[in-house]
Structure 1
Amino acid sequence: MTTSLTRRQREIFEYLQTHLKEFPHPPTLDELCTALGLSSKGSLHKQVQALIEAGLVAPMNNRRRGIRLTEQLPGEDQGLPFLGYIAAGQPIEAVEQHEPVQVPEFLYTDEPCYVLQVKGDSMIDEGILDGDHIVIEQRNQARNGEIVVALIDGSDATLKRIEQKPSHVILHPANMAMEPMEFSPEQVQIQGVLVGQMRSYC
């Protein structure tokens, strides 16, 4: 099927075959453009569209924007990547496992999302309990008052409600027994915002 592709289309297709699993989620056009070192997203879009018409890449839509090879279509049961555990208490070491978790579509957004499992009880007053699975929309910024995954000093991840000020960032727990944590803006990197939650009663 690839015999009718141009050289550039074949290069893009072969890159996807080789590197697609290295992305934590199916890459967007912007992410693929950066990975390939291309300067024009418009040109890449035309090449990807040709691969879609050739049946090698899955059509993109508002729900599933990432670029996927047709043989790697997730269907309804593949779900979102599970990236490990997140502390709802003191920060713990960030863990990435990249295992799929089945998630109802109404619990995540059109943007890239992933799943974490909660460890700790600092967010219990928000109804977020130890052992819950939470759905995180991948972002590097958030509005004040949103519940975020915050990476502290580049190594420890925690789940808290964020308050951002010019001189410092406050991460608020939702547990009356716990105190807020305060950091300089340089210490805190936002990795995503809470958009969904799942709980098992088994």
Structure 2
Amino acid sequence: MLASTKLTDRQQQIYDLVRTAIERTGAPPTRAEIAQALGFRSANAAEEHLQALARKGVIELVGGTSRGIRLQSDTLRAVHQRRQQQAQLPMPGLAQLMLPLVGRVAAGSPILAEEHVDRTYQVEASLFSRRPDYLLKVRGMSMRDAGILDGDLLAVQQTSEVRNGQIVVARLGDEVTVKRYKRNRQGIELLPENPDFDVIHVAEGDPQFALEGLAVGLIRNGSAF
């Protein structure tokens, strides 16, 4: 059972590194980034530890992507419980969030307008480092290499304050898209995580562009409900 899964000190380090990266940027680190952070000589050493974590069931590895690492939703809950038990603290009730699932979004109307909400899900607040406001169903594979796949549910915090490198939900006219955000002197670039897709360039002050939120977590469709 996941609640009794024992990790080595090094495995715990890597797990914490992956979780922190997802909390901070919305995407897991690459093998090379893990190797650099922990002083490994090569990315292969990081891969071996990730494979061990996958065998223990605390992460899932998505093949063919440089950032294809996912935390299991029940893993987060199990680690939370185990750490509290080790500290000999009583287990509090896990806080629940009621999050609307946003479907197709009509141009010119707020993303959380009633007509956009397909249904509402109850999820555990402990799954997210920052409180999300809604779930958005991912459509397409433009963020494949960040481990965000078609049909996944992206947890989004409504905000227009984002930093370079974070994964955001942006509106471009009639379309809502999930991309990595980059701002420079020329304007804004929305970067895909799949070489088959083009960078979207947005001119400064483009009235068709709006930031709808920041990605704060990911749930594989159906896995956490």
TM-score of the superposed pair, with normalisation by structure 2: 0.47
Cα shift at 1:98: 6.0
The 3 A distance-change label for structure 1 pair 160 and 110 is closer
Matches within 5 A, 1:151-162: 151-153=171-173, 155-162=174-181
Cα shift at 1:78: 5.8
Counterpart secondary structure, 1:148: strand
Matches within 5 A, 1:22-101: 79-85=98-104, 96-97=116-117, 99-101=119-121
| Aligned-partner Cα distance in 2 for 1:107–1:201 | 15
| Aligned-partner Cα distance in 1 for 2:214–2:121 | 18
2:164 paired residue number = 144
Identity of aligned residues (%): 32
The 3 A distance-change label for structure 1 pair 186 and 130 is same
1:165 paired residue number = 184
Cα shift at 1:85: 4.9
Counterpart secondary structure, 1:106: helix
- Does the aligned pair in 2 maintain the 1:150–1:191 contact within 8 Å? yes
Q: Greater CA radius of gyration, 1 or 2?
A: 1
1:33 paired residue number = none
The 3 A distance-change label for structure 1 pair 179 and 109 is same
2:143 paired residue number = 123
Count of residues paired in the alignment: 120
Cα shift at 1:112: 5.3
Task: Indicate yes or no: 2:193 matched with 1:193.
Answer: no
TM-score of the superposed pair, with normalisation by structure 1: 0.52
Task: Indicate yes or no: 2:203 matched with 1:184.
Answer: yes
Equivalent position amino acid for 2:211 in 1: I
Cα shift at 1:81: 1.5
Counterpart secondary structure, 1:102: strand
2:43 paired residue number = none
Cα shift at 1:166: 3.6
The 3 A distance-change label for structure 1 pair 121 and 85 is farther
The 3 A distance-change label for structure 1 pair 136 and 79 is same
Equivalent position amino acid for 2:166 in 1: E
- Does the aligned pair in 2 maintain the 1:77–1:102 contact within 8 Å? yes
| Aligned-partner Cα distance in 2 for 1:110–1:122 | 24
Deviations 1:76-115 (A, max 9, x none): 56621212258xxxxxxx7721631122212335555111
RMSD of aligned C-alpha atoms?
A: 2.5
| Aligned-partner Cα distance in 2 for 1:119–1:150 | 14
| Structure 2 unaligned spans of 5+ | 1-93, 106-110
- Does the aligned pair in 2 maintain the 1:85–1:118 contact within 8 Å? no
- Does the aligned pair in 2 maintain the 1:169–1:183 contact within 8 Å? yes
| Aligned-partner Cα distance in 2 for 1:123–1:85 | 18
